[in-house]
Structure formats: structure tokens, C-alpha cells
A and B are shown apart, each in its own frame.
Chain A
Amino acid sequence: MGQAGRTTRAGNGIAGRLPVALAGALFAVFAALIPQIAEGHILMLALDWVPALGISLSLRIDGLSLTFALLISGIGTLVLLYSNSYLAGHPHYPRFALFLTAFLLSMLGLVLADDLIVLFVFWELTTVTSYLLIGFSHENATSRRAALQALFVTGAGGLAFLAGLILLGAAAGTFEISAILARGEAIRGHALYLPILGLILAGAFTKSAQVPFHFWLPNAMAAPTPVSAFLHSATMVKAGIYLLARLHPALSGTGTWLWALTIAGAATAVFASVMALRQTDLKLALAYTTLMALGTLTLFLGQSSAYALTAFVTFLIVHSLYKAALFLVVGCVDHATGTREAEVLGGLGRAMPVTALAAAVAAMSMAGFPPFLGFIGKELKYAGALAVASEPALVAGAVLLANALMLAVAGVVAFRPFWRPAAGALPRTPHEAPWPMLAGPVVLAALGAVFGLAPGLLQGALVDPVVEGFLGTEAEAKQLALWAGVNLPLILSLATFVLGLALYAAHRPLRAALIRLDAATPGMDAGWDGFIDALRALAAWQTGLLQSGVLRRYLFITFATVLLGLGGTIVARGVWAAPEGLAGVSWKQAALVALILAGAALAVITRSRIAAVAGLGVTGIGVALVFIVFGAPDVAITQLLVETLVVVLVAVAMLRLPRLGPRRRRPADAALAIGVGAAVSATLLAVLLAPLDRRVTAFFEATSWPEAHGRNIVNVILVDFRALDTFGEIAVVLIAALSAYALLRGTAGRGEK
């Protein structure tokens, strides 16, 4: 009743509203910091966390972190507001809101951290929360697979990243990011520079889905649409980009950095924009355009010129604005019609005018038409690409192709569903989305237009501080402007429009060809299943090998490990000690040892249970005699008592147990037993060589009477100095007695049945 009564208007109560308020408040806080940062200040906040390891919970807010923090908290607010309607009345909404808020906070921690280890902790937290969010529809096998895939790929990258961070910290002599940035020269010249770079790039490329690690991102679209809008376009996938940008001053400027980022970025951008055109699902098409954007951002971070870096930060903001808006639009369409198929959707402009308008504005920005911010971004991209010292034509060509394809995809996603005539029956009759779902697309799309018309707002507040952070205060960011005169970037822009419109016109036959091509080529995604199957088979094989379910084998492996550990240490350390002083042994002592060994030998070889118990008794009494001879009367008394009890207990138990079976020849067991015995002897002989540290004993001897008023030092240790240990010992015996009693009662009960 209650569930059915809750419509989209009802929302999700406090669980729906509280996260929105939290994210909004955070955004307000960060927005209030803009003036300070714009003046070039860097705000720091430090709390000791693990002082022993030199790790402190320090935060740093500069232009770059503030840009990310504003995007995260701002888009986060809109997405949370949106989700509250999108998933209204969902039985698990509180869980969803919790995951999403946890993600938002982790992401903020990641971009604000000023310590590599703290950064890594937040990095992993975003991976975990992303896993939970992708797998939110956990009853769906596709979601689970996608979630696991994202976790594996980014988690594996995260491990490499951790190794890279530790090496970086070692090379720089500190984990503090501010200090590392100041030591770029020393790090680039360090012998470990290449391993550091390789490992960190592995982390960044997996997180930001660069080719060939891209395949998890389209699959991650199994998540609810607000999640895709937030994590997989505007924020989390940009964590890798953030990392590259953050460490840019420390690591960039070498040939390896330049080529690794340029090649990965260009390959990702072109590959992804071609794949984007192939998709018919609007959300998947957007996912691939996100890949394209990530590739472009990586490409620009490879450079160190002011043009490229201005292009980087501008495009970062542009992309977050329009891509989040478009994802939310697709969510509205899906919500209203029940489908995201490009070939089915049509004629929605009349039913959903506000959505259509927001989509059109965001798409214009994405396609790079003036007067939107996307146009400025695109102009800067061309300027940045042409400023690439080594291969301007190649880079500009890649960017041109990617941009043209982007324009075509923008048309497919944001224009065609609304303005072409209705193609056929939709699963649901379309209706306009409620206002909380419209707020996101409208605000984000409007921002793209506002910043496009007044780029100065963005320039002073965010772009300049970020570029200063990259290049130092003397460098200047390139001016953001709609009209920069007739120059090569403008000509390239015009070429983009022509090529892009042509591609849009021809996109259906192109898509058909791409689908055929895609089906013919094996992808990483197919390899993934094979990889997981192989991993499972390996796990089953090694479990079968180690977990045989046979007690003897477990013991064998345990003792073999002991032998390897002890023997390995002895061999590695070379601590051989010949037994000394054997000549000085009296015949009485020799007889004592002979008694002990004879008892043990009897226990091993006999088939008679009584004889074996007698042998054990003989050994035990021999050991007790050793204690008596060498000044341990208390120990000897206890030993004698316990030996007697053991013999009695075994004798009683034997009344209810069968006879011993025949002895089998077990040469492997014998070899292992002798090996461990020899290793123990050798260890003890080596120990005997080292001088004995008697400080603890001396303390007990000196204080036993004056402080504890006892003349028997052993007793004083047990009941006074180490009384808690003795208490524990009594507890152990008591528990053993209780368990034994319970087991015996159980036997009796069964016997009576």
C-alpha cells in the first residue's frame, strides 16, 4: 500500500533530502573559497594521522583541487537531487544515497589530499564505492559482472599505483605532495623515474579508462543513470586525469611522459569517438564520448605549453558540464519513455520541451558551436594541439577527427530523439520530467552557455590559478575568448563543422558498417570472460591441491613449511654449530638420555597400544628426571603428575577404541620427520652458541623476595609477576575440561539411542 502510494512526487523522505543538503553545503563552502584561490593563495590544513610513518591527514586547496572540488560537489548536488526523483520510492534508496554520498566524500578527499598515502586511501574508497554503485541492481547478472570488472581493472591499477606512490615517496624523500611538486628536477633525474612513471600511469590509465584498459567503462553503464552521470563521466573517471595533472609539475617534461600520454590519449580519443558512433543505446554512445574526452585530456597533459594546459582545464570544465547534463537528459528520456534506443526514439520535443531545450544547449556545447563554452574549448584544443612541438599535424588530426565524430554523436543523442518525427510506438507515453530531474540538465547546460558568453568569469576564478599551479606564477594562461580572430584554429573549427555534419548525415550506414566490423574483431571484453574463467579454474585447482581434506596432508604441508623456514634460515645465515662438550657427559646423564630415546622409539615402532603408552610414560619420566637433575624440582613434580594422568587417560580411553592397525612403511614421512628433527637440533645448537641474556632472570632473582615476598622464584613468577598469564592458563584448562565434558556427554547420549 505505502509503496504503491509513493509516486515520483513523494520522494524518499529524509534519506533523499539530507544528502542533497550536505552536498549543497559543501559546494557553498568551496564556492566561498574561490576569491582567495583566485588571488593565488594555497590553503593548507594538516592533522597528524600516522606520525610514526610520517603520514599526515593534510589537505591542500589550490586552483586544481578547487576546480575538481567545485565540479564534484556542484554536480553531486544536482545528481543527488535528480536521483531522489529518478529512484523515487525505490525500496533501497537509502542505501543508494549512502553509497553516492560516500563516493562524493571520497572523491573530495582524493582531490584535496596533500599526502600520497591519504590520496591513495581515498582513491581506493572511490573504487569500492564505484563497485557498490555499478552493482546497485545486484539481482541483475550483467550489473554484477560489470561491477566486478570495474573493480578488478581499477583495483589492479590501484595496486600498481600504490607501488608507484611508494617509489615516488622514496625518491622524493617525502609523501607530502606540496614538497614533491617542488622537487620535480630531482625526481625526473632519479634512477627510479621510469618505474615510478610506469606504475603511476598504470593506475591513472586504468582509472581513467585509457585504451587498452577502456573496456570496463561502457559496461559500467549498467549502473543507474545518475551514477553514470556522476561517476563515469564527471568525476571518478577523471580521478586518473586529476592524478596526472596533480603530478604534472613533478613528472612531466620528459620524452617518456610526452609520448606515453600523447599516444594513449590520441588512441583513446579516436577509437572511442568511432565506437561512439557505432552505438544505438544513447547511454552507451555517451559513455564512449566520455572515453574520447578522457583521451583528449590525457593528450593535453602530455604537453607543458600554456596553450595545451589552458585547453586541458577549459575542456575539463566544459566536458563535465555538458556530459553530466546529457547523461541526465538520457535518464529523463529513459524515465519518460522506457527506452534508450536511438532507432526507436523520436518526436519527443513536443512532450518534453524543457528536456529537449536543455539537451540542445548541452549538445551545442559538446559539438562546439558558438557561443557556447564548448566552442572556446574546441578552439583551445586546436591551439593546444598545434602547439605540440613534435607532431602538431598528427595530434591536430586526431583531435579534428575526434571532434567531428563528437559533433555527429551530439546530433544522434541530443537532437534526433527530440526533433525527428516519431518513429513508432514507445513503451510508455512520454511526459515531461519533474522539476528535480530537470534542474540538473538545465543548470549545467545553462552554465555552458553563460561561461561561453562571459569566459572571463571562468578565466579569473579557475583557469588562471590552475595553469599557474602547473607552470609557476610567471607563466600566463592563454586568454579564453569567443572570437580570437581568423586563425588556424578557427579554420580547423569550420572544417570540423563540415566534417561533423557530413558524418551525422551519413551516420546510419556508417553505424551499420561499424557494427559489422565490431562483431568481426575480438575485443578486450570477450577476453575478460576467458580471463575470469581461467582465474576460477586456477583457484579450483590450487584449492584442490592444498585443501585435500586429508589430515595427514595438511600436517605434512605444515611440517614441510617448518622445515623450509628453519632449514632455509640456517642455510642462509650459515649458522652451523658442531655439538660440543659431548665428551664431558657422565654415564648417568647418558643413561638418562638413552631412557628418553628408548621410550620414544618404542612408541614409534610398537603395534601394541599398551607398549606404546608405556614408551610414552618412560619418555615423560626421563624428561622429569632431567628437570630434577638440573635444578627444576617444581617442573619435575608437575611433569610426573601430568605424565601419570596422560597414561591413565589413554588407558581408559583405549577401552573404547580399536587396536592399532599394521604399521605402513612411510619413507617420505620418515624423511620429513628426520629433516625437521635435524633442523630443530641445529637451531638449538646455534642458539646455545650465542651468549644467554639473563637480564629478565636477574630481575626476578633480585626482586623476588624484596618486592614479592616469595623465596621460590619460579612460583613467584607464576603467581605474582606473570599472574595474568597463569590466570589465562587456568582458563584454557577449564575450557578444555568443559569442552571434553560436553563431548563425552554427547557420546553417552548417542549410545543410549
Chain B
Amino acid sequence: MEALLALTVGALVAAAIYLMLARSLLRFLFGLVLISNAANLLIFTAGRLTGGAPPLIAEGAEVPAGAVANALPQALILTAIVIGFGLFAFALVLVLRAHAALGTLDSDEMRVAEPRKRAAP
């Protein structure tokens, strides 16, 4: 299953990058969502998969009984999901604001800071 997920992660990354390279900022945002999913899945897979055994310690026990899923990548991913969401929400608002100000979602047309005509040095 790890190998299959490894291929899946690659496919998600490819889809995400393709979307992020689009001119439409909305597609860029979709790519952003996909790439953070891909990254989380990558960390999860790299920590190895253990089916059906969450990292919990039974009542009365000192340590988990038997092999449980790797807790470390889970903790990392929990943080990553939340941060990724924060990033996404901010980017979404930024796009909204840019659209309100510039009237377009085409990133090629957003050239207020760097106008197309460049003065010769």
C-alpha cells in the first residue's frame, strides 16, 4: 500500500502544479489545496502505515500494547493541516481583494507593481 500511495502522491503533486501554473488565480488556489493534501499524504506514507491501531495507551497500561501507528508524522500532519488551512484562507481573501481592486483574476494582467513596459536601463 505504501508504494501505491507513493504513486498517488506523485499524481496529486503533478495535478496541483499543473493547476498552480494556470493564469487564473482561482485555479491556482485549487492547486494550493491539492498540494497541501499531497504533502500531508507524503509525510504520512514516509512514516509507514499501520492498519487499524491508533497510537493510544490503554487504561491501566504504561505503554501502548503491541505495534501502533507512528505518532510522530500524525502530530506533524495535524500541525500542517491547520497551517495549510490558514495559508489557504489568507490566499483566498487576497485573491478576492485583488479581484475587487483590479477587476481580473488573470495573474498575467496584474502588473501594477511591475508594468510591462520597462524603462531602458
The 8 Å CB contact of B37, one of A552, A623, A701, is: A623
Q: With A623-B41, A672-B17 as known contacts, state yes or no: A687 contacts B83, CB within 8 Å.
A: no
Q: Are A674 and B44 in contact (CB under 8 A)?
A: no
User: A-B pairs with the 3 shortest C-beta distances?
Assistant: A677-B14, A549-B114, A681-B10
* A692 contacts the other chain (CB 8 A): yes
Shortest C-beta distance, B53 to chain A (Å), equals 5
Q: Are A660 and B55 in contact (CB under 8 A)?
A: no
Q: With A540-B121, A688-B2, A733-B86 as known contacts, state yes or no: A631 contacts B59, CB within 8 Å.
A: no
What are 17 pairs between A and B in contact, CB < 8 Å?
A: A589-B1, A589-B4, A616-B33, A616-B34, A627-B44, A632-B44, A645-B85, A653-B92, A657-B95, A673-B18, A676-B13, A680-B38, A717-B75, A729-B82, A736-B86, A740-B90, A744-B97
Shortest C-beta distance, A274 to chain B (Å), equals 39
CA distance A725 to B72 in the complex (A): 13
CA distance A598 to B59 in the complex (A): 41
| Chain B residues with CB below 8 A from A705, complex form | 57, 61-63
Q: Are B89 and A740 in contact (CB under 8 A)?
A: yes
| Chain A residues with CB below 8 A from B33, complex form | 616, 620, 646
| Chain A residues with CB below 8 A from B92, complex form | 649-650, 653, 740
Q: Are B45 and A657 in contact (CB under 8 A)?
A: no
Q: With A593-B5, A616-B34 as known contacts, state yes or no: A692 contacts B48, CB within 8 Å.
A: yes
Q: Are A556 and B21 in contact (CB under 8 A)?
A: yes
CA distance A633 to B85 in the complex (A): 19
CA distance A548 to B63 in the complex (A): 57
| Chain A residues with CB below 8 A from B54, complex form | 631-634
Q: Are A747 and B96 in contact (CB under 8 A)?
A: yes
| Chain B residues with CB below 8 A from A548, complex form | 114
Give residues of chain B (57-71) contacting chain A, Cβ–Cβ below 8 Å: 57-59, 61-64, 68-71
Q: Are A579 and B3 in contact (CB under 8 A)?
A: yes
The 8 Å CB contact of B53, one of A536, A631, A751, is: A631
CA distance A650 to B96 in the complex (A): 10
If A635-B78, A700-B71, A722-B75 are given as contacts, then 10 extra A-B residue pairs at C-beta distance below 8 Å, sorted by A number, are A556-B21, A604-B15, A616-B34, A630-B52, A653-B92, A692-B47, A733-B85, A735-B86, A740-B93, A744-B97
Using a CB–CB cutoff of 8 Å, the interface residues on chain B facing chain A are 1-24, 26-30, 33-34, 37-38, 40-42, 44-59, 61-64, 68-72, 74-75, 77-79, 81-90, 92-97, 99-101, 105-108, 110-111, 113-116, 118, 121
Q: Are B4 and A714 in contact (CB under 8 A)?
A: no
CA distance A77 to B22 in the complex (A): 67
* A83 contacts the other chain (CB 8 A): no
Q: Are A687 and B46 in contact (CB under 8 A)?
A: yes
Q: Are A701 and B44 in contact (CB under 8 A)?
A: no
| Chain B residues with CB below 8 A from A613, complex form | 30
Interface string of A703-714 (1 = CB under 8 A from B): 011100001111
* A642 contacts the other chain (CB 8 A): yes
| Chain A residues with CB below 8 A from B16, complex form | 600, 673
CA distance A680 to B93 in the complex (A): 30
CA distance A601 to B34 in the complex (A): 11
- Closest A-chain residue to B93, C-beta based? A740
Give residues of chain A (716-753) contacting chain B, Cβ–Cβ below 8 Å: 717-718, 722, 725-726, 729, 732-733, 735-737, 739-740, 743-744, 746-747, 750-751
CA distance A679 to B7 in the complex (A): 10
CA distance A718 to B71 in the complex (A): 10
State the total of A-B contacts with C-beta under 8 angstroms. Answer: 297
CA distance A612 to B89 in the complex (A): 17
| Chain B residues with CB below 8 A from A550, complex form | 107-108
Interface size on A, residues (CB 8 A): 109
Q: With A638-B81, A657-B96 as known contacts, state yes or no: A688 contacts B30, CB within 8 Å.
A: no
Q: Which of A310-318, A419-427, A457-465, A580-588 contacts B (4 or more CB under 8 A)?
A: A580-588
CA distance A639 to B37 in the complex (A): 9
| Chain A residues with CB below 8 A from B111, complex form | 549
| Chain B residues with CB below 8 A from A552, complex form | 21-23, 107-108
The 8 Å CB contact of B17, one of A609, A676, A729, is: A676
Shortest C-beta distance, A80 to chain B (Å), equals 42
| Chain B residues with CB below 8 A from A597, complex form | 8, 11-12
| Chain A residues with CB below 8 A from B79, complex form | 718, 725-726, 729
CA distance A701 to B68 in the complex (A): 9
| Chain A residues with CB below 8 A from B78, complex form | 634-635, 638, 714, 718
- Closest A-chain residue to B21, C-beta based? A669
* A619 contacts the other chain (CB 8 A): yes
Shortest C-beta distance, A739 to chain B (Å), equals 6
Q: Are B81 and A701 in contact (CB under 8 A)?
A: no
Q: With A616-B30, A623-B41, A673-B21 as known contacts, state yes or no: A733 contacts B5, CB within 8 Å.
A: no
| Chain B residues with CB below 8 A from A580, complex form | 3
Q: Are B26 and A657 in contact (CB under 8 A)?
A: yes
Q: Are B4 and A680 in contact (CB under 8 A)?
A: no
Q: Are A751 and B55 in contact (CB under 8 A)?
A: no
